[in-house]
Amino acid sequence: MPGGSDTLTSLVWQSLPGADGAWINPLIRKIDTVSSNSYLIATPDVLLLIDPGGLPEQAEQLSRIIGESRRERDRPVFVFLTHAHIDHFAGVFAAPLFAYPETAVFAVQEQGGEAIERGDFQQTQAALFEKTFPPMKTGLSLFPSGWETDAGIPVSEAFPNGATVTITCQMTEGKRGIPRARLEFGTGPALEVFHTPGHSPDSICLRMGGLLFIGDLLFAANPGIAGICGWDRDALLQSISGIQAVIESGGIALVCPGHGKAFPAPDTARMFSAIRKEALALSDIAELNHERAERAAAFAEDCMEQVNELFTIMAGRLYYVSWVMDELGESDIADRMGALIPGDTIDELLEAFSAFAEDHHRGEHVPINLALKAAQVVAKLERSFKKEELMRIIDPSLVERAGRLLSDYTIMLRGFSPPSVLSGCALAPLIEAIVTGLSRPSCSDEDLLSSADDDAAFMGVLLSRIGTRPLLEDVAFSLDLEDRASLVSVDQDRFSDLVTYILEDLIGSGSDRIRVDVRQEDRIQFVTIAGNFLTGNPLKQSRKMNFLAGLCERAGGILTCTEDACQRRFVIELRLV
Amino acid sequence: MEITTTTRDNATILSVAGRIDTATAPALEQAINHEIEQQNRKILLNFSAVSYISSGGLRVLLATAKKLKNPGDKFALCGLSAEVLKILKLAGFTSIFSICSSEGEALAGW
């Protein structure tokens, strides 16, 4: 193969390993939600196109390559869909080649074929992506109901494209058996098809020689994909197990996914194990429909603005520590600080999301696209920052809040509510603890002195001392907490996050006098946090206010904010237990 | 992002407009470095039209503070929007260089 034995080169004919006389011309795209990869296989008997993709130009390009191949040697054309989701087939409506069964026969698992033939916008995910398509006839129904009756018996079928195909269906061997069909188009290499539902009821994997085409099996447990119409966790677990057994039985060199680059077969063990772990945790996942995609997209935007702010502040803190260490002649440590957050990469990720969100508001993307883009950014951010190390240097509250936000988004996109642990709690000591934490340095003078004899310990304390900055150090702060006994129902972590965000907002907006008081009316306690001198934009109806109100709801309360020329005032209402 | 350079009371004022992000931060750094190479070592950044600063922008500010620390050098920021001021405050940058409300206030001390 031109790209080497462990990869495929896009848009180049290369010999298909393990299948004498077969050639493959893959069209491998950058991963997105619009269109899948396509794989065109030529054998002496037939031309097989696996997944024509979701874009008209992609289908036209494939149509041209098929035309050239047929001019060299005319052969029947079959189009196999790894599953009937629109990003895998919607492009075909633009290319005349695919319009007639005499020129191309579509081969789809029975349920997928029926979904295309009746124009089912739910099962094909067209509704989720706000697309439509005209109903279309398919020609070869894979694993039709009752196939088990003829298990092991070769059945020949003639098609309008001139091909006669001999199909033998049976279960693969062993405890992890899954339905398999062997398709012979003539004397050339045969195609094996495996029914692997889970991502969708009609998902199939295909194998020729040393290549295994797995469609979207690899992404089936990802946030924003798990839970889509037709998703089935138990079927997915069984399919993963079955296809892993097929790989373990040998002969497969390369695995070709529906999106992204091909990878060596041995890598699947680790990947499938991760999918299995993810899928096992998704027993109660809600269906990801258009309504939930809209909610996720709105939450993504509220979250991302805050994530952007937190990551910029964290990176800034590290730059500051690095700068001070450089001043102290500790350039090695200064360099190490800079590497804890890959600032440029994170900036690029967040800016890309911001640009995508702007396109979304101009109508270029539908909500699910934005929600999935956010999921992609969140996953990369989670991999990019070293939480444990950061928490030893900069304010743990910043790191923890960033981690909680990323996790909340993933949980929300999966269709669960971000975890809220409401318990009875007296507000006065809780608020005092929050304020104390935000008022004093992370390391006392005594900590610094007592570490002086140990170089490593001293450096650790020094870095933390430089990297953390008490939020309330330059603020005239007053607390009025009369009622110390009544218990309110509250999620303490989220309440602490909320109060910290509010204090940051006030101090960031120039407040140097902040007052917190708690009063009670009927069965409700009102926590008022008010600051003077405001330079910021009005909070009302802003994304920030949406975010804070949502967080307050997760903390168990209701948040309101009033502001005038010289004061901003937040009120949190919490119910007594 | 647009940068306009003027001089006033022997100081170089770079008035920046727009977003300072990954794409634009290098241009700001280049503009500042150009002034420093010309031995203009009293630099005031007027950020009154800056709506956003990324961590890349923060790094440019620190790099500038590092270059302008000889006796007689001056470096300050003025006219910060609430959003940018908040980031600088919470990142702990306000102790590194002067932050003033206006050009006049910044230059008065130079």
DSSP string, A176-225: T--EEEEEE-SSS--EEEEE--SSSTT-EEEEETTEEEEETGGGTTSTTT
Q: How many CB pairs under 8 A join A and B?
A: 85
pLDDT at A146 over 70: yes
B56 Cα to chain A: minimum distance (Å): 6
pLDDT at A72 over 80: yes
Tens-digit pLDDT profile for residues A483-539 = 778 899 999 999 999 999 999 999 988 899 999 999 999 899 999 999 997 677 778
Instruction: Please report, for chain B, how many H helices and E strands are present, in that order.
Output: 4, 5
Q: Is A11 left (phi over 0), alpha (psi -120 to 50) or beta?
A: left
CB contact under 8 A, A469 and B62: no
Given A317, A348, A535, which is nearest B91 (Cβ)?
A: A317
pLDDT at A423 over 50: yes
Of A106-110, A277-281, B10-14, least confident by mean pLDDT is A277-281
Place of tokens 């029926």: A114
Given A313, A319, A537, which is nearest B59 (Cβ)?
A: A319
Place of tokens 């991760």: A274
pLDDT at A486: 87
Chain A: residue whose CA lies nearest to B84: A508
| Contact call for residues A88 and A122 (beta carbons, < 8 A) | no
Mean pLDDT of A381-410: 89
Return the CATH number of A289-419, one of 1.20.140, 1.20.120, 1.10.3470, 3.40.50.
1.20.140
- In Å, what is the CA distance from A354 to each residue of A4, A359, A409? 38, 9, 16
- In Å, what is the CA distance from A101 to each residue of A141, A160, A161, A163, B100? 13, 6, 6, 11, 74
pLDDT at A534: 66
pLDDT at A3 over 70: no
Tens-digit pLDDT profile for residues B68-77 = 989 999 999 9
**Does residue A542 or residue A276 have the better pLDDT?**
A276
| Contact call for residues B42 and B8 (beta carbons, < 8 A) | no
Residue B108 at interface with chain A, using a CB cutoff of 8 Å: no
pLDDT at A474 over 80: yes
The letter for the amino acid at B43 is I
**Does residue A383 or residue A137 have the better pLDDT?**
A137
Residue A542: alpha-carbon gap to chain centroid: 26
Question: Could you give the CA distance from residue A480 to residue A50 in angstroms, rounded to a whole number?
Answer: 69
Instruction: Please state the φ and ψ torsions of residue B23, each to the nearest 5 degrees.
Output: -75, -35
pLDDT at B16 over 50: yes
Q: Is residue B20 part of a domain?
A: yes
Mean pLDDT of B44-66: 92
Indicate the average pLDDT of chain A: 91
Indicate the average pLDDT of chain B: 92
The domain ranges of chain A are 14-280, 289-419, 420-437+472-577
Instruction: Please state the φ and ψ torsions of residue A568, each to the nearest 5 degrees.
Output: -120, 135
CATH code where residue B88 lies: 3.30.750.24
| Contact call for residues A188 and A174 (beta carbons, < 8 A) | no
- In Å, what is the CA distance from A388 to each residue of A392, A463, B55? 7, 14, 21
ipTM, two decimals: 0.85
B85 Cβ neighbours under 8 A, 6+ residues apart: A508, A510, A535, B99
Tens-digit pLDDT profile for residues A299-312 = 999 999 999 999 99
Q: Across the strands, what pairs with A515? A: A478, A530
Mean pLDDT of A372-377: 91
Q: Is residue B60 part of a domain?
A: yes
Tens-digit pLDDT profile for residues B20-54 = 998 899 999 999 999 999 999 999 999 999 999 99
Categorize the per-residue pLDDT at A465 as very low, low, confident or very high, splitting at 50, 70 and 90: confident
Would you say domain A420-437+472-577 falls under CATH 1.10.3720.10? no
CB contact under 8 A, B85 and A535: yes
Count the domains in chain B.
1
Mean pLDDT of A385-391: 86
> Hey, is A268 helix, strand or coil?
helix
B65 Cα to chain A: minimum distance (Å): 9
Categorize the per-residue pLDDT at A79 as very low, low, confident or very high, splitting at 50, 70 and 90: very high
Q: Is residue B110 part of a domain?
A: no
Mean pLDDT of A225-247: 95
Chain B: residue whose CA lies nearest to A538: B82
Given A311, A320, A505, which is nearest B92 (Cβ)?
A: A320
A564 Cβ neighbours under 8 A, 6+ residues apart: none
pLDDT at A23: 97
pLDDT at A359: 93
Tens-digit pLDDT profile for residues A243-288 = 999 999 999 999 999 999 999 999 999 999 999 998 998 877 878 8
Chain A residues with CB within 8 Å of chain B CB = 309, 311-313, 315-317, 319-320, 323, 326, 341, 343-344, 346-348, 350-351, 469, 471, 504-505, 507-510, 534-537
Q: Is residue B31 part of a domain?
A: yes
> Hey, is A50 helix, strand or coil?
strand
Return the CATH number of A14-280, one of 3.40.50.720, 3.60.15.10, 3.40.50.300, 3.40.50.880.
3.60.15.10
pLDDT at A419: 67
Given B21, B59, B88, which is nearest A351 (Cβ)?
A: B21
Q: Give the global pTM.
A: 0.77
Question: Could you give the CA distance from residue A418 to residue A554 in angstroms, rounded to a whole number?
Answer: 8
* Neighbour tally for A56: CB within 10 Å: 15
**Does residue A146 or residue B89 have the better pLDDT?**
A146
* Neighbour tally for A134: CB within 10 Å: 7
Among B residues 72-101, those touching chain A with beta carbons less than 8 Å apart:
82-83, 85-93, 96
B85 Cα to chain A: minimum distance (Å): 7
Of A101-105, A185-189, A448-452, least confident by mean pLDDT is A448-452
Q: Measured between beta carbons, which residues in chain B are less than 8 angstroms from residue A344? A: 22, 55-56
Residue ranges making up the domain that contains B57 = 2-105
Categorize the per-residue pLDDT at A459 as very low, low, confident or very high, splitting at 50, 70 and 90: confident
Q: According to the per-residue pLDDT averaged within each range, which of A554-558, A562-566, B80-84 is highest?
A: A554-558
Mean pLDDT of A373-386: 88
- Which of A119, A375, A413 is CA-nearest to residue A289? A413
Chain B: residue whose CA lies nearest to A326: B66
Chain B: residue whose CA lies nearest to A508: B86
CB contact under 8 A, A316 and B93: yes
pLDDT at A2 over 50: no
Mean pLDDT of A110-127: 96
pLDDT at A527: 96
The order of strands in the sheet holding A155-158 is: A155-158, A164-171, A179-184, A191-195, A204-208, A211-215, A254-257, A263-264
Q: Measured between beta carbons, which residues in chain A are less than 8 angstroms from residue B59? A: 319, 343
pLDDT at A118 over 90: yes
Q: Across the strands, what pairs with A40? A: A25, A49
Question: What is the percent of chain A where pLDDT is above 90?
Answer: 66
pLDDT at A300: 92
